Structure 1
């Protein structure tokens, strides 16, 4: 399947005085899987609609390969679209549904049927060719919607929350299927979701949006372990955000005095955060926090256990800090037999490695 680089330059969309998409620059290399992630109203669906041609921009340009498609009609763009609701024709067989885009492009019947069969093989459903959509499960229908999009080999495929209607187990299976198909075809995919785990699992890069702007663009590891702002740190996954002030900064790291007469901790940071005297937040992910019973010699942060939650593979401990000015604390570790059990109300000591603590300028971006 051919693929193409998508380039977006100065793209803007307004509705009256409301700016749905502020001036946006974005490049998606050929063959990349990019996810647009963000809360409701962040601009991700607006950006996808502009790329698809379903909405016209007020400013800026969209290029697909060497072609300017900014004001092209949707059917004139070499773009495929996969929706959440499948949009299969109920009166057509599965084979006819998949072959329909080829028919609309005047591909001869024999070639269309062969490519439809090949597409069914790709999604591992060759046995359902003569069935109708109503005879398939939700997961099977979604795979058919994928096959119908792939069959005419567009340069880029847009996916608008395609797994939103599926239950969690089926959604997890479909994530693996889409990743497998992407690897096999190498096509460019732009995927919209509000599901953080889905974005982390599937993407080469994530474009996290907020208020009609790109908040951070990078690999899942970049956003999760090196967030550029408090919004990114707070939005993507669970985190402890501990207020403090930088006491000293050196190439080897930062010394940060935590608020409320808390301990001084070692952390990493850069840019605006790596300045002595700067008010910051120290981000520590729950799985990087180790806990144990507090003792008279404990020098680390302490908290009183308020709740324990077992969420399948992870056990989470929620604690009220014993220092004023600290937010509630959380630690997480793999659920396993024989793990230490702590009583509600017990005072625990929290610790972490200096490299797992990332300093973020309070109210400002590191970038």
Structure 2
């Protein structure tokens, strides 16, 4: 197991009566890519600024490589910082921008030139060394900001929504670039974003935050397939959440009843769910299988299934989404989404059509209310 690079214990921050960060514990391993994800006001930027030393906590401690830096200055923390606005010096060339942190650290001229060249090669931009920031595209400026951060080889790089100012195509490209650089360097990265897809794509682990606390910490797959709360299930990706009652419990599976009818089983990773417990059943849209044709009574009462009426169809490029209103056994009016790769079969569906939706018990997750 990798050594711990960053340890946060009981860290908290208040602004008057507002709790920006409740007491928080967090360990980040050497070389890990950890993303702080959450809605506005969730505490992710507050946590990052405390780690960076841009503000001081009301309680708790921060250790980097075993050294207590809780109240140390930013330059004492062995960290690098990449911002959304790049923060490049407009009057300096690219090479001068990258060399600046080395000069502040009194690195000799020959070593500075060598490391600037290495950093430019790392971001695939050796040909722009003599240009000024205004002569670069947004994506190139962001890569130069990365190179300036990496050139002095900090043990931790903090990134605060670094791709927020870029268009989608360039964001996608830069995500791959940052992943490549992280893989090549092996540096620990703590990354802040509100973009779920970005977090899922780039992270080794995601720290999903809400109302100043950690809602769930785990791999992208943990949060997506095994959410521990309704908030996590609802925030990360699209999901259908159905009201249910637990009827039985067996290891990691529970029997579920929806609308008074037995609806098969669902996975349960929460030990508190017992027979009689109220629960929400999460089913991702792509895990709902759509069947058309006449629905007889014997079919309607099949486990892991429901009847719904199609209210709208949306083709979003590679995916087609069906928007439906549940008929049975879910309470009438409950909205459900089904999704599948776009193909000609999608043309068989018409608004107003009654459909049967089926799912696998392994794709349904029971979450305590």
Alignment length (residue pairs): 359
Equivalent position of 2:309 in the other structure: 304
Cα separation, 1, equivalents of 2:343 and 2:287: 17
Equivalent position of 1:343 in the other structure: 350
Equivalent position of 2:215 in the other structure: 215
Deviates more, 1:12-21 or 1:187-196: 12-21
Equivalent position of 1:24 in the other structure: 24
Show structure 1 runs of 5+ residues with no match.
363-367
Give yes or no for contact 1:6–1:63 (8 Å, CA) kept in 2: yes
| CA displacement 1:260-289 (0-9 Å, x = unmatched) | x45523211033453101110110001111
Equivalent position of 1:316 in the other structure: 321
- TM-score, scaled to structure 2: 0.94
Return closer, same or farther for 1:4/1:181 CA change in 2, 3 Å cut-off. Answer: farther
Give yes or no for contact 2:325–2:332 (8 Å, CA) kept in 1: no
TM-superposed CA distance for 1:4, in Å, is: 6.3
Equivalent position of 2:269 in the other structure: 270
Cα separation, 2, equivalents of 1:315 and 1:168: 21
Give yes or no for contact 2:252–2:269 (8 Å, CA) kept in 1: no
Cα separation, 2, equivalents of 1:37 and 1:256: 31
Cα separation, 2, equivalents of 1:125 and 1:314: 36
Give yes or no for contact 2:228–2:270 (8 Å, CA) kept in 1: no
TM-superposed CA distance for 1:34, in Å, is: 0.2
Cα separation, 2, equivalents of 1:239 and 1:25: 29
Equivalent position of 1:34 in the other structure: 34
Return closer, same or farther for 1:326/1:344 CA change in 2, 3 Å cut-off. Answer: closer
Give yes or no for contact 1:241–1:327 (8 Å, CA) kept in 2: no
TM-superposed CA distance for 1:295, in Å, is: 2.1
| CA displacement 1:82-120 (0-9 Å, x = unmatched) | 000000111111111111111111111221121111111
Cα separation, 2, equivalents of 1:78 and 1:271: 39
Give yes or no for contact 1:290–1:352 (8 Å, CA) kept in 2: yes
Equivalent position of 1:119 in the other structure: 119
Deviates more, 1:316-325 or 1:335-344: 335-344
TM-superposed CA distance for 1:321, in Å, is: 1.0
| CA displacement 1:293-323 (0-9 Å, x = unmatched) | 1523232311111111122221111101114
Return closer, same or farther for 1:347/1:262 CA change in 2, 3 Å cut-off. Answer: farther
Show structure 2 runs of 5+ residues with no match.
none
**Other structure's SS at 1:26 match:** strand
**Other structure's SS at 2:348 match:** coil
- TM-score, scaled to structure 1: 0.95
Cα separation, 2, equivalents of 1:86 and 1:258: 52
Equivalent position of 2:338 in the other structure: 331
